[in-house]
Amino acid sequence: MVLAASNLPTATDTTSSDIANSGSNCRCLFGDSCWPSASEFSKLAKQVSQPLLNPLPPASPCYPLSRPSGDCDAAQRLWTDPAWRANQSGAMQSANFETFVFRNGTTSACFIDTTLGIPCGQGSVPVAGVDAHSDADIQAAIKFAAAHNLRVVVKGNGHDLSGRSTARGSFVIWTHHMKNIAFHAQFTPTGAPKSEAVAQAITLGAGIQWQEAYNAVNIRNRVLVGGLSPGGTVGAAGGWVLGGGHSVLSPTFGLGVDNVLEFTMISSNGTRLTANAHRNTDLFFALRGGGGGTYGVVTSVTYQTHTNLPLISAVFSATPSGSQTSRVLQTLLTDFMKALPGLSDAGWGGTAFLGADATGNVALSGSFVLFNGTMVSANQSTSPFFSAVNRLASTAGNLTFTTSLTPFDSFQTWYTAMSAQGANVAGSNGALGSWLLPRDVIEKQPEHVAETLLPLTGLVMGLYAGGAVARVDPNAMGLNPAWRTTLLHTIFATGWVEGTPVDVIDSLVDQVRQNMTNLRALAPDSGAYFNEASLVEPDPLKAFFGDHRTTLKAIKRIYDPIDMFVVPEGIGSDDFDDALVCKV
């Protein structure tokens, strides 16, 4: 919803006085005396192509006495719809990042459950911003934010598992509507000789989502290394790639950052920059894995594409029951760990899950793809694991095991079928932990790895590395070098319902912290994926960026000397307080 600047939320609703921000070392937040006046916002409005944003929490239509009118029935019906959330400047895919907890433990939030009797507050939703449709819009927004020393966040689609694209009392640059797509029969990076032209490349604007990107390349019989999510709403040229960007196709073609040919970015002084292997090479290093929302506002990414060849899909589910469930699950998970190196070498990529199925029983399941594979090679490479589970089923009893190998004529056909089976999972509240497990640890200690993973709630195990990922020089870009020795990206999560007391949430997060200690101990010298990681890491910069963190910080000083772009646990965040408002 777009409102006039004079309709900003009142200071009593969203004042940021709970965040200490006095002095010249602090950002100006809504509610502070330094916050721009209505006339100053009016001047900005004349410089941009769209009406200014005054983002609202997505549940606000259900509070007609305190908020503008809207369709509460639609909000309730679409609360978990990722596309509905992506299309709102004030919504996040994870609803807990729309809330704000004060130092005294009370919460400002706008809950969809109105029966809780809690007033609709602004929470951590930005209060003003620019709906960017062009580079010029972003340049005007950046210059305005710099002139007023505002706390700035950059948001595309809200697929942000760490809350980095929202902040209380902030000014948002919303890139969701930057929907330009350009396909290049031949693409020569700026400054490169024509001999380095790359055939069949595509340039995506900052607001393009993976569903749109896949459709664009599919009509040319090409495929992109990209993300998977319900509705395909993850951004294709934003935080996904800036943090690294994993994919089921990564074992074949590398990570997202391995496929980037060029970026364009607006820096904190409003300059439009091109970064590639020939221009601004230090920035090119940083943007390939050094974290989103950190160096500037990326406006486009150019990727190489690949031939859209057939693939084989492998789906399995193993569900034990009865008194021996724990023992069988341990054996199942151990057998899976033993099979992973062979599956990786064969070219499989995909995801396995350990958690409750529809019947409430804990199951080990998975969905994997073999790009440009045959049914013969698929059967041969999956046989060791499937045979081991069948042997276990014949001896353990009470183990239901189903498998299927299905050929698809293209990635797009598989992706469409997979998406149709996905459920809407947006709008939930939770916290997660993750760690990258190296191949040598899994090969040498499969039983111990399985034993450590088994207690983790909602375990997701991504086979997104190995193969092409492992063949890239770990020092070629800002991405955490741990990715190059990784075999498995492990994630677990906890969650809670709206209105859960803060002390209960804190206890759940404490359990995440303890589980992270156990998980990290498997490979203490590895790291975590910046885009899907714990917010309670004891040494986050080391965990997310490894030995590149010092170089990345030096690059940030060049392109963002005023520290306009700072995100939780990102490069430069260690120079600020916990709220990322005041320098320390």
Give per-residue pLDDT as tens, 441-481: 999 999 999 999 999 988 999 999 999 999 999 999 999 99
Distance of CA 523 to the CA centre of its chain: 23
What pLDDT, on a 0 to 100 scale, did the predictor assign at position 154? 98
Query: Rounded CA gap, 539 and 298, in Å?
Result: 27
Mean pLDDT taken over the chain:
93
Query: Rounded CA gap, 438 and 487, in Å?
Result: 5
CATH 3.40.50.1480 fits 181-308, yes or no: no
Q: Tell me how far CA of residue 21 lies from CA of 15, 17, 475, in angstroms.
A: 12, 8, 38
Report the 3 state secondary structure along 275-308. ECCCCCHHHHHHHCCCCCCCCCEEEEEEEECEEC
A 10 A CB-CB count for 407 gives 15
What pLDDT, on a 0 to 100 scale, did the predictor assign at position 21? 56
CATH 3.40.630.10 fits 5-174, yes or no: no
What pLDDT, on a 0 to 100 scale, did the predictor assign at position 230? 74
Helix axes of 325-346 and 375-396: crossing angle, nearest 10 degrees: 170
SS3 82: helix
Query: Rounded CA gap, 368 and 158, in Å?
Result: 27
Give 338's contacts (C-beta < 8 A, 6+ positions apart).
384, 385, 388, 446
Give 510's contacts (C-beta < 8 A, 6+ positions apart).
none
- Domain residue ranges of the chain, discontinuous segments joined by +: 5-174, 181-308, 311-543
- Is residue 579 left, alpha or beta, with left meaning phi > 0 and alpha meaning psi from -120 to 50? alpha
Helix axes of 38-45 and 135-148: crossing angle, nearest 10 degrees: 160
SS3 80: coil
Tokens in use for 50? 């769209």
Tokens in use for 449? 């790895």
Q: What b/e readout covers 418-427, taking b as 16+ CB neighbours within 10 angstroms?
A: beeeeebebb
Query: Rounded CA gap, 340 and 449, in Å?
Result: 12
What pLDDT, on a 0 to 100 scale, did the predictor assign at position 10? 36
**151 and 167 Cβ atoms separated by less than 8 Å:** yes
Q: Is the four-CA dihedral 26, 31, 36, 41 of positive or negative sign? A: positive
Helix (H) or strand (E) holding 184: strand 181-187
Give per-residue pLDDT as tens, 273-326: 999 999 999 999 999 999 999 999 999 999 999 999 999 999 999 999 887 889
Q: Tell me how far CA of residue 12 lies from CA of 20, 31, 34, 60, 65, in angstroms.
A: 17, 8, 16, 17, 16
Query: Rounded CA gap, 202 and 151, in Å?
Result: 33
Of 228, 451, 219, the C-alpha closest to 349 is: 228
Q: Are strands 171-174 and 152-155 parallel, antiparallel or unpaired?
A: parallel
Strands (DSSP E) found in 497-552: none
Residues in the chain with pLDDT values less than 70: 1-23, 422-424
Query: Rounded CA gap, 485 and 488, in Å?
Result: 10
Q: What angle is formed at CA 411 by the lines to CA 410 and CA 415, rounded to 5 degrees? A: 125
pTM of the model: 0.95
CATH 3.40.1360.10 fits 311-543, yes or no: no
Report the 3 state secondary structure along 460-474. EEEECCCCCHHHCCC
What pLDDT, on a 0 to 100 scale, did the predictor assign at position 194? 95
What pLDDT, on a 0 to 100 scale, did the predictor assign at position 19? 59
